[in-house]
């Protein structure tokens, strides 16, 4: 799937209108080093009948909460959405209550802080883009709500990126403050390896938190966040295509019957 | 010709619709395409400002594009109606391109074509459902999942797949105005097609040379589609130029020349002769009232 997708994508590829329409902006010229295509990783949600591995997605949420949420927002999610991952009402309420959200204004016209409720959106680590950039040497950690849909390669890419850190090869010119990652465009990324060593988080279900495992889990969580409708979409698709195939057979028989006196 | 109007309306609607999700590709696609109008001498800049409702693509642009996106499908619907009315003036053509000579040459639309077209429709539904349910993002661009940001230009701005051939023609011309003219011309030329094809033979089946030229034209169309997705660098620019040249040469040189020169194969005596191998009885259903032809 992902391979097909990236192939098609490449076919649809690149382009900027040459006739004098070079538009404002454009990042700094990137040093040599094209990104490697992410390897095709097997996920539970691949294929026609794929579903999200709930245990993995729950661990992934833990990784997001303890690691990624220090820098990345997920503004499109609410705490109550976590119930879809199999967390109980009480667990969701407890998770929401661990953050302070700003609410108001109250009758005195003042904003105030209160503990989060399940209906609140995930709290963002920074109040605005400037604050996020200031804390990250000018780089902006993107919102992760739909990140697997917003990057070529999807979940494969996210997993590859999180596990793709290494020392730069001999002679590779690194810019200050950037990190070498062979799957990132230009191979230099402002995010330092977020998953750095085994045991960085402690999973409640006893799973060993290797970098590979944490990355897989958080990627599953992010894929669920981006496409929570994936399971019902695929199930409905299988049913509808079966239905249409039968209907198509019947229609074809009717056509043959009707045309039989002509041909 | 009404058909070409429908085609243009459909393209406009699809473009306007693609702006509505207001992702990065929406925003920058809108910027690139509306900017094309600035190639028009003298009034171009003013037209662009007028389209934008400001000095860049911004909220007013989004609002008016939504209104237009809502409006145009209904206009299309009206033109489809005219299209069908016009069809009833001349009647349907047929793959052989010869006039029906009697009831043995025609079939009523219902039940024959309704039944046949239902099969095609369901085949289409299956392909459509496969895309919707199993690969909903395959024809889209990941950048459109990033909200529009006027300060960040995506490295590659590409239109949706159905616009790629025209985009390739646009970029094949080194001059902006020239590119815009050729891109527009690539569709406008369909309006004058009846006068470019002067051959008395209506079906390509009996015109082997013109048929080969037409197939080659189709090839050039798909080559352009491929080039439209590629970066504007060699060898794609050169290939796109050759394909563009052929695209226009087909209409402006080959068709008129063949219309005058090509002799063509002998036409069959009637429609039912080749289709039913020698006439055949009147089908029972044909006794039903045939489709009215005004
Ligand atoms: C010929 C008929 C139409 C065509 C070809 C068309 C095409 C499109 C396209 C290509 C998009 C972008 C979808 C995306 O990338 O997400 C779109 C979005 C949209 N269209 Fe249409 N459209 C048509 C009719 C209409 C009509 C009649 C309405 C409203 C009454 C409408 C309302 C919308 C809205 C609200 C969106 C934005 C939501 C979205 O992006 O999913 N469209 N349309």
pLDDT digits (tens, 9 = 90+) for A175-203: 989 999 999 999 999 999 999 989 999 99
Name the minimum distance, in Å, from the CA of A43 to any CA of chain B: 15
Which one is predicted more confidently, B101 or A252?
A: A252
Residue A218 lies in a domain: yes
Q: What is the ipTM of this complex?
A: 0.85
Structural tokens at position B132: 């919707």
Q: Name the DSSP class of B281.
A: P
Mutate to test the interface with A, among B94, B109, B114, B119 (most CBs of A within 10 A): B119
The count of domains in chain B is 2
Residues of chain A positioned with their CB less than 8 A from the CB of B143: 150
Q: Which of B119, B140, B156 is the last residue of a domain?
A: B156
Q: Look at phi and psi of residue B175 and say left if phi exceeds 0, alpha if psi is from -120 to 50, else beta.
A: beta
What is the domain extent for residue A161?
A: 38-77+121-247
| Residue B185 Cβ contacting ligand 1 at under 6 Å | no
Q: Are A213 and B108 in contact (CB under 8 A)?
A: no
Residue A90 lies in a domain: no
- Contact state of B133 with A233 under an 8 Å Cβ cutoff: yes
Identify the CATH number of the domain in which residue B203 sits: 1.10.287.980
Neighbour count for residue A62 (Cβ, 10 Å): 21
Considering the domain architecture, whether residues B150 and B226 belong to the same structural domain is answered as: no
Considering the domain architecture, whether residues B149 and B165 belong to the same structural domain is answered as: no
List pLDDT tens digits, range B216-238: 999 999 999 999 988 888 889 99
Please give the pLDDT value at position A14: 32
Residue A95 lies in a domain: no
- The CA–CA distances, whole Å, from B25 to A157, A177, A227 equal 20, 30, 20
Residue A215 lies in a domain: yes
Considering the domain architecture, whether residues B110 and B197 belong to the same structural domain is answered as: no
List pLDDT tens digits, range A98-123: 999 999 899 999 999 999 999 999 99
Q: Which of B113, B138, B156 is the last residue of a domain?
A: B156
List pLDDT tens digits, range A227-247: 999 999 999 999 999 999 999
Identify the CATH number of the domain in which residue A186 sits: 1.10.760.10
Q: Look at phi and psi of residue B280 and say left if phi exceeds 0, alpha if psi is from -120 to 50, else beta.
A: left
What percentage of chain A reaches a pLDDT higher than 90?
Answer: 81
Residue stretches of chain B with pLDDT short of 70: 277-294
CA angle B64, B66, B68 (to 5 degrees): 70
- Asked if A138 reaches chain B (Cβ–Cβ under 8 Å), the answer is no
Identify the CATH number of the domain in which residue B25 sits: 1.20.810.10
Question: Could you check whether the bond before residue A34 is cis, i.e. omega within 30 degrees of 0?
Answer: no
Q: Global pTM?
A: 0.88
| Residue B62 Cβ contacting ligand 1 at under 6 Å | no
Considering the domain architecture, whether residues B43 and B151 belong to the same structural domain is answered as: yes
Considering the domain architecture, whether residues B149 and B184 belong to the same structural domain is answered as: no
| Residue B17 Cβ contacting ligand 1 at under 6 Å | yes
Choose among A249, A84, A219, A236: nearest CA to A155.
A219
Considering the domain architecture, whether residues B162 and B152 belong to the same structural domain is answered as: no
Neighbour count for residue A31 (Cβ, 10 Å): 13
Considering the domain architecture, whether residues B151 and B213 belong to the same structural domain is answered as: no
Please give the pLDDT value at position B247: 97
**Pocket probe mutation, ligand 1, options B64, B69, B140, max atoms within 8 Å of Cβ:** B69
What is the domain extent for residue B185?
A: 158-265
Q: What are phi and psi of A106, to 5 degrees?
A: -85, -175
Please give the pLDDT value at position A18: 30
Please give the pLDDT value at position A3: 44
Helices A54-66 and A211-226, axial angle in degrees (round to 10): 100
Q: Are A178 and A188 in contact (CB under 8 A)?
A: yes
Neighbour count for residue B37 (Cβ, 10 Å): 17
Residue A156 lies in a domain: yes
Q: Is B230 a catalytic residue?
A: no
- Asked if B102 reaches chain A (Cβ–Cβ under 8 Å), the answer is no
Residue A56 lies in a domain: yes
Residue B293 lies in a domain: no
Considering the domain architecture, whether residues B179 and B35 belong to the same structural domain is answered as: no
The count of domains in chain A is 1
Q: Whose CA is nearest to atom 33 of ligand 1?
A: B17
Considering the domain architecture, whether residues B149 and B162 belong to the same structural domain is answered as: no
Please give the pLDDT value at position B277: 63
Considering the domain architecture, whether residues B122 and B181 belong to the same structural domain is answered as: no
Considering the domain architecture, whether residues B78 and B209 belong to the same structural domain is answered as: no
- Asked if A90 reaches chain B (Cβ–Cβ under 8 Å), the answer is no
Residue B272 lies in a domain: no
Residue A220 lies in a domain: yes
| Residue B21 Cβ contacting ligand 1 at under 6 Å | yes
Considering the domain architecture, whether residues B152 and B11 belong to the same structural domain is answered as: yes
Q: Are A33 and A186 in contact (CB under 8 A)?
A: yes
| pLDDT surpasses 70 at A96 | yes
- Asked if A15 reaches chain B (Cβ–Cβ under 8 Å), the answer is yes
Structural tokens at position A13: 């590829």
């Amino acid at each position: 799937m992902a391979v097909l997708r990236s192939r098609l994508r490449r076919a649809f590829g690149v382009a900027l209108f040459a006739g004098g329409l070079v538009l404002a902006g454009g990042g700094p010229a990137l040093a040599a080093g094209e990104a490697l295509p992410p390897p095709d990783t097997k996920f539970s949600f691949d294929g026609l009948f794929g579903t999200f591995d709930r245990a993995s997605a729950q661990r992934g949420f833990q990784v997001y909460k303890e690691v990624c949420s220090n820098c990345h927002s997920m503004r499109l999610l609410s705490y109550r959405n976590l119930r879809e991952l199999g967390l109980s009402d009480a667990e969701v309420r407890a998770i929401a209550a661990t953050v302070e959200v700003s609410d108001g204004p109250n009758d005195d016209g003042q904003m105030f802080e209160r503990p989060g409720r399940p209906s609140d959106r995930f709290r963002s680590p920074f109040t605005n883009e400037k604050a996020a950039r200031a804390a990250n040497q000018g780089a902006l950690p993107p919102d992760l709500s739909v990140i697997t849909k917003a990057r070529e390669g999807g979940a494969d890419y996210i997993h590859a990126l999180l596990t793709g850190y290494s020392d730069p090869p001999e002679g590779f010119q690194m810019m200050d403050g950037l990190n070498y990652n062979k799957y990132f465009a230009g191979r230099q990324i402002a995010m330092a390896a977020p998953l750095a060593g085994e045991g960085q988080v402690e999973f409640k279900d006893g799973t060993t938190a290797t970098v590979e495992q944490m990355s897989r889990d958080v990627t599953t969580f992010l894929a669920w966040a981006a496409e929570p409708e994936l399971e019902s979409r695929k199930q409905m698709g299988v049913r509808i295509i079966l239905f249409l195939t039968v209907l198509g057979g019947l229609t074809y028989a009717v056509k043959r019957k009707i045309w039989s006196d002509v041909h | 010709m009404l058909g070409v109007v429908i085609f243009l309306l459909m393209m406009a609607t699809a473009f306007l619709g693609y702006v509505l999700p207001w992702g990065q590709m929406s925003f920058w696609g809108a910027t690139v395409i509306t900017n094309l109008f600035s190639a028009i001498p003298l009034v171009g800049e003013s037209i662009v400002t007028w389209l934008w409702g400001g000095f860049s693509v911004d909220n007013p642009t989004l609002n008016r594009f939504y209104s237009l996106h809502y409006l145009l499908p209904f206009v299309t619907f009206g033109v489809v109606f005219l299209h069908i009315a016009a069809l009833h003036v001349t009647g349907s053509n047929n793959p052989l391109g010869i006039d029906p000579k009697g009831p043995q040459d025609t079939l009523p639309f219902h039940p024959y074509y309704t039944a046949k077209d239902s099969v095609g429709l369901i085949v289409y539904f299956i392909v459509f459902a496969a895309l919707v349910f199993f690969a909903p993002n395959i024809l889209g661009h990941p950048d459109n999942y990033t909200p529009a940001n006027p300060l960040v230009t995506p490295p590659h701005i590409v239109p949706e797949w159905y616009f790629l051939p025209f985009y390739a023609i646009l970029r094949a011309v080194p001059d902006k105005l020239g590119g815009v003219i050729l891109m527009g011309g690539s569709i406008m030329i369909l309006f004058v097609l009846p006068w470019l094809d002067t051959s008395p033979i209506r079906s390509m089946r009996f015109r082997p040379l013109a048929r080969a030229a037409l197939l080659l034209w189709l090839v050039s169309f798909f080559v352009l589609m491929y080039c439209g997705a590629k970066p504007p660098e060699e060898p794609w620019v050169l290939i796109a130029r050759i394909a563009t040249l052929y695209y226009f040469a087909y209409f402006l040189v080959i068709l008129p020349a063949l219309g005058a020169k090509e002799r063509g194969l002998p036409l069959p005596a009637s429609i039912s002769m080749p289709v039913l191998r020698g006439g055949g009885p009147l089908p029972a259903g044909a006794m039903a009232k045939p489709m009215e032809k005004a």
